[in-house]
Structure formats: C-alpha cells, structure tokens
A and B are shown apart, each in its own frame.
Chain A
Amino acid sequence: MKIASLEYCLGSHMETWDELLKDNPDWDKESLTSKTGVSIRYVSGSDETALTLAVAASVELLTKNGKDAINGLIYVTQSPDSHIPATACLLHQELGLPSNCFAFDLNQGCSGFIYGLSIASSMLASCELQQILLVCSETYRKYIDIHDRTCRPIFSDGASAVIIRSEDKGSLGPFTFLTDGSGAPNLTLKDPQNHNDLPRLFMNGPSVLMFTMAAVPKATNTLLEMASLKIDDIDLFIFHQASAVVLDNIQRALDIPDARFYRHVQFVGNTVSSTIPIALKHALDEGVVNEGATLLLMGFGVGYSLAGCIVRT
C-alpha cells in the first residue's frame, strides 16, 4: 500500500508582504517573518472556494492517473461549500468518478491528511479496494480579518489530491492520534460583529504553540516506539508546516538534523490539512525522498488534534 501520486492547487492571488504592510503599516515585517517563516501567501479569489481548489487539484491528478479505478473519495475540509449534502458528493460529481465509489467529508484541520491516510489504508485493506482519492482543501483566509496579525501572515488557501493505492510496495502505518478538546477555544471560528459577515478565525498563538511543544515531541517518540524505530531510522520527517517557530521548536526538541527535517512553509504558507502532502510532493520532486525510504509524517493543531504515521515509500 502506498501514496501513489500527489498534486495540489493554491489560491490564485499571491499575497506579498507589501500588501500586508499597506493594510497594517504598524506591523514589524522582520519580526513577523522570523516567527512565521512565510515569504508569500496564496489567497483564494472571490470566485474560488475550497471545492473549486479541490476540483483543480484532483483534475490535475486524475488526468495523469486515470479515474476509473478510484473506489473511494475522502474529502478533508473545514471550509465546506456544502453541509447538506456532503461536499464530497459534489466533488465526486465534478470529477465524474465511478458511481460505485464511496464519498464522505472528514472535518479535521491540520491533522486531517493523516486522518485521511489512516481511514484510506483501513478501507483499502478491509474492503479489498484498489485506489482511494484523498483530497484536502481549505480556504481559511476567507475567515481571517485583514488586520489579524496572528493569522494573516501565516495562512494560505490551497488543496491537495493524493491517490492511495493498494500494492505490494510500500506501507502506511502505524498511526498515532491525540485529541484534547480543552484546546478548542484556542483555534476556532467566532461569530462576526456584523451578522452579514463570515465568522472570524481566532487563534491564541502562545497557547497553540505550547500545545505543539508539549504534544508533538512526545507523540513522535510514541510513534517511533510503536514502529520499533529510532530517530536515526527515519529518512525524512515532514511535520505540519504550521510556522517557522513551531518547526524550530519541534526540530530542537527532537534533535533532528536539517537534512532530515523537511521545511516548505516559507514558499507556500500554512495550508492547514494540505501542508504535509504539498511538502511531500516537493520532497519527492526534489529527489529528497527515494524508493524504499522511511518517512514520519505528523499533523497537529486545531481541535486540539494530532495524528502521525510512518510511511514507507
């Protein structure tokens, strides 16, 4: 079982620091850049939604890989175009997937891709399926105020599409999970002041940082123990690309050398559930990941929720 192919699509507008500073002349660019690590952000246009981004990423993927063998569609989003019916059904329709294909939404954020991998791997095995399409898509930027110094410099809109295929090569797992609902108020949507506006994303940066600093190193060691592996056995660590300060602290706590700690947040920003698949695609394209490599992937954040897994390519 393996991650067979990946593609992604970002919001169409490339937002520069000049734009942020034009709206917020009192912001300290140097300080924010050093904390976030983000050089450029991608923002969806008024005619773009999580679904349209998801369609674009999926079409790119299915054009190269075909769609007739897709047995299931898992759609990870917290920016759904539709609550009733599930947006996965709309995506299924847009992509023209086979009618005997399952499709459902999965409401998770930063841990969503790993959750999706876990469910996909379970269904491939238990239902004797061949291929599952896992799509992650978020347009958090639609919920972020232009003057929000905590959120605006970090988040981008984007979608990723991944085919998980049942085959003799590669493996997915073990998986580890953590849920702490006491952290829910620290990263959430709040009602707008004007009821005609969209709700606003709120993030308590210090609290979310403390959660990652406490949970991620511990969960990483738990996962390694489950797999009977050590840090040195992992060819590449790809953590959720939350921000530079989060990645710096994880790397420091686990003492992972630069060559095996993948960073991509500076190029794209935080696309929530798509940061890991986007980073993985670039690692593969750059030749950083070879056949037979052992990877550790871990997503964490809103919920609080954490999910990690070992992947063998």
Chain B
Amino acid sequence: MMDQNSVLEIIESALRSHDAEIDDTSDVQWDSLSHVSILVALDTAFDGKLSEIEDLHGAYSVEDIISILQSIGLVD
C-alpha cells in the first residue's frame, strides 16, 4: 500500500513535465494530455494495477484520484 504523499509526488512529477503551475496540489487543474501523463506514471508505480480502474480516466483532481485509490486499498 502506498502513502498519500507518494501519490502526490507522482502527480506533481507528471505535471511538472508539462510545466503546469503547482501552488497547492489539492487545487491544481490539468488538461487531458497531462492526465495521460498522470495515468501512465501512476500505472507504472502500481505495477499495472490501474489499467482496470475506469473511474480514474475521469478523475481530474488530486482529491478524486486519491479517493479512488483509497477505495480499492492501494493508498492508505
């Protein structure tokens, strides 16, 4: 199980590659291209477990992503 901070670091790292402004990660917004980067980064970190989770491809906020990962027991 991964802790929340690690998930935030993964999202921040994926967003930085698109030069997205990150003031407060909980409020950051991103577009579909950045979302692809986040999904790929998270799927790599979770050894391919995320590809089956359909809810994630519509989760465009940090809060939503963490909530989904917590609901399936991947994040504490």
On chain B, which size bracket covers the interface?
A: 20 to 34
- When A28-B18, A207-B57, A213-B43 are in contact, do A35 and B51 touch as well, CB less than 8 Å? no
Question: Which of A150, A204, A253 has a CB less than 8 Å from the CB of B48?
Answer: A253
Question: Which of A210, A245, A249 has a CB less than 8 Å from the CB of B57?
Answer: A210
The answer to whether B32 touches A150 (Cβ under 8 A) is yes
The answer to whether A149 touches B54 (Cβ under 8 A) is no
The answer to whether A205 touches B36 (Cβ under 8 A) is yes
* A183-223 near B? 1/0 per residue, CB < 8 Å: 00000000000000000000011110110011001000000
25 A-B pairs with CB atoms under 8 Å apart are: A28-B19, A31-B18, A31-B33, A35-B37, A149-B33, A204-B32, A204-B57, A205-B36, A206-B36, A206-B57, A206-B58, A207-B57, A209-B36, A210-B39, A210-B51, A210-B53, A213-B48, A213-B50, A214-B52, A217-B48, A217-B51, A245-B40, A249-B40, A252-B48, A253-B48
Residue of A nearest to B60 (CB): A206
Interface size, chain A (Cβ < 8 Å)? 20
Cα–Cα distance between A31 and B48 once the two chains are bound (Å): 23
Beyond A35-B36, A205-B32, 18 extra complex contacts between A and B, CB < 8 Å: A31-B18, A31-B33, A35-B37, A150-B32, A206-B36, A207-B57, A209-B36, A210-B51, A210-B53, A210-B56, A213-B39, A213-B48, A213-B50, A213-B51, A214-B52, A217-B48, A248-B40, A253-B48
Report A68 CB to chain B, min CB distance, Å. Answer: 48
Interface contact tally, CB-CB below 8 A: 54
Residues on the A chain within 8 Å of B19, using CB: 28
Where the two chains meet, the residues of A that have a C-beta atom closer than 8 Å to any C-beta of B are 28, 31-32, 35, 149-150, 204-207, 209-210, 213-214, 217, 245, 248-249, 252-253
Scoring A32, A209, A248 by chain B CB atoms within 10 A of each residue's CB, the highest score goes to A209
Residue of B nearest to A28 (CB): B18
* B9-48 near A? 1/0 per residue, CB < 8 Å: 0000000011100000000000011011101100110001
The answer to whether B39 touches A209 (Cβ under 8 A) is yes
Cα–Cα distance between A4 and B19 once the two chains are bound (Å): 49
Scoring A28, A207, A210, A252 by chain B CB atoms within 10 A of each residue's CB, the highest score goes to A210
The answer to whether A206 touches B52 (Cβ under 8 A) is no
Cα–Cα distance between A204 and B56 once the two chains are bound (Å): 13
Cα–Cα distance between A212 and B17 once the two chains are bound (Å): 23
Question: Which of B17, B39, B44 has a CB less than 8 Å from the CB of A206?
Answer: B39
Residues on the A chain within 8 Å of B43, using CB: 213, 249
Residues on the A chain within 8 Å of B39, using CB: 206, 209-210, 213
